[in-house]
Amino acid sequence: MKVKKICLLLALLSAQLTAMASHPEFGEQPKLVVGIVVDQMRWDYLSRYYDRFTRDGLRRMIDGGFSCDNCLINYLPTITAIGHTSVYTGTTPAFHGICGNNFYIDGNKTYCTSDTTVDVVGTDNQKKGRMSPRNMLSTTIGDQLRLHTDFESKVIGISYKDRAAILPAGHSATAAYWLDTKNGQFITSTYYMTALPDWARQENKRLKQNRELQKVGEDIGRYPLCGTITTDMAIAALKGERLGRGKKTDMLCVSYSQTDVIGHEWGTRGERTDAAYLQLDKDLGRLLRALDEQVGRDNYLLFLTADHGAAHNYQFMTDHKLPAGKWRDPDMRNGVEDYIAKKLGNKKAVVSAEIDYRYFFDRKAISEQGLDLQQVKEAAMEYLRQAPHVCFVVDYEHAAQQALPAIIRDRALMGYHYRRSGDLLVVTEPGYYTYGKWSSPVGTTHGEWNPYDAHIPLLFYGWKITHGATSREVHITDIAATVCQMLHIQQPNACTGEVIVEVMK
C-alpha cells in the first residue's frame, strides 16, 4: 500500500514539475516565433493523412505538440486574405478591414494588398509587386512584438501569394517576400526596402538555375513544388537574417499556398491532392530540421493553422448520393439586375459586383436614378430568396433585427465592415457553393459558414508546449491572443480573441 502511495505522489510531483516547466515564466520568451498557415487545409486532413505523414513533419507536430481539435472560423465569408489577417490580428473584418481578396473601399474596387504609392523590388512586373499592408486597419502579432522590443525584433513574411506574405507580417515588418511566377523570383516592394538583401538575391539565383522549379509558373501540375520553393526561401531567410539568434525574439510567418491552387483545380480528393499534402509534410520536415539546427529544438514556438477549409466537389458528392451542387449560374448577377429593374423601373445597372456570396450596390447609380437603397436591397433579396438552394439572404445593416440563426447572424456581423463588405450576404444550403473562374468542374472552393469551410487545424509546437489536445470550441481569432500571452506582450490593437489556456498548462 505504501509503495502505491509513493508511486502516486511521485506521479503527481512529476506532472506538477512538467506543468511548471512548460508554463512560461513572466518575461520569459522563445528566441523565435514561427507561424505557418496552410491555404485551404481542412481539419480532417490531419487524420486522413496521419498514417502517411513522415515522423519529421506534421506527425512530429501532432505527436509532440498541442492540438486544438475544434478550431472554427467565426466570421463570414471564409476567404484567404481574411483568414490570414484574422490569424495574426486576432480579430475579424469588422475591425481589421480586410474583407476579402477583393472588395470595395468607399465604392472603389480594391485588391486587399494593392498600393499604388510603392514600387516593385526584384522584378519589372509592376502589377505583381506594388503591394503593402496599408489596407489593413489593425496591428498583428509581429507589430506588437516589434513595439514591445523597440523594433529590435525581426519579423518576416514569406509565401507564394503576396497577400499571404504581407498581411501576416504586419505593418512594421522587416520584410515580406512573395513569388513572381512569371519570372520565377521572390520579390518585395519599396514599402519594405529599395533592394533585395544579398541572401535573397542568392536564393533567386539558385532558383533561376533550377529549371524544374522554374516550370512551376508554367504548369499547374507542378504546383506542389511551390511548397518546396517557399520552404527554401523560409530557410534562406532563417539563415540570412539570423532569425532567433539575436537578443530579442524574432518572428517568421510562412504560408503555403500551393494547396489552395490544387484544391480549386482538383478538389479535396484524388492523387493530386494527396501528393500535395504528402509533399507539404516533407517540406515541413525540412523546415523543422532547419529550425532545430539554426535556433535549437526548444527555442522556437511554432503554430500551424489554415485560413479556411474547402467543400468536397459537388459532383463527387452527388455521385455518392450526398446533397451538394453548384449554386450560382454565370447569369445570377444579371438575374438580380433584371428583377430590380422590373420592380423599380431603373434603366442603369445598380449592382457593382458579386464577390464571395456578397452583393455590392452602386450607391451613385442608385442616387442618380432617384432610387432608395433599402428598396433596391429588398428587391434583390426577394429575387435571391426565390433562387434554388439559398438558405438565407442577410441584409448587413439590419442583420441584428433579421430572423436569422444566431450562428449566421453573429458570423455575418463579425465579417461586416460598413465601408468595405457590401450590402447583402447569401448563405447557401449545405454542400452548395459558388462555381466560377476559381474552380474547375472537378475542383472546389470555399467561403461559407459550414464545417467543411470553417473547421480548421490548429497545432502548437515547440517552446513550452507539452503534448495534449482539447475539443473545446476555440476560434481563429484566439491564436494571436494565445501567442501574445505566451510572449507576455500586448495583444494586437483590435484583438477580440481569447487565450486558449489549455495550451499553456
Where in the sequence numbering do the catalytic residues fall?
Answer: 80
Task: Compute the distance between CA of residue 87 and CA of residue 66 in angstroms, rounded to an integer.
Answer: 17
- Measured N-to-C along each axis, helices 80-89 and 162-169 cross at an angle, to the nearest 10 degrees, of 20
Q: Measure the CA–CA gap between 423 and 427, rounded to whole angstroms.
A: 14
List Cβ<8 Å contacts ≥24 apart for 359-368.
359/333, 359/422, 359/423, 359/424, 359/426, 360/104, 360/422, 360/423, 361/422, 361/423, 362/107, 363/107, 364/107
**Residue 357: closest CA among 40, 76, 74, 104:** 76
Amino acid making up residue 130: R
CB 10 within 8 A of CB 132: no
SS3 state of residue 386: helix
486558449: which residue's cell? Answer: 500
CA atoms within a 13 Å half-sphere pointing along the CA-CB vector of 501: 0
Report in angstroms the alpha-carbon separations of 169 from 52, 89, 360.
Answer: 32, 10, 29
Q: How far apart are CA 74 and CA 454, in angstroms?
A: 8
Crossing angle (nearest 10°) for helices 224-240 and 271-294:
10
Cβ–Cβ < 8 Å for 402, 283: no
Beta-bridged to residue 371, according to DSSP, are none
Listed as own residue / partner, the contacts of 333-339 with beta carbons closer than 8 Å and 24 or more positions apart are 333/359, 335/383, 335/387, 336/380, 336/383, 336/384, 339/379, 339/380, 339/382, 339/383
Of the candidates 59, 251, 69, 228, the residue with the CA atom closest to the CA atom of residue 151 = 251
| Nearest by Cα to 352 from 304, 291, 420, 301 | 420
CA dist., res. 321 & res. 51, Å (int):
28
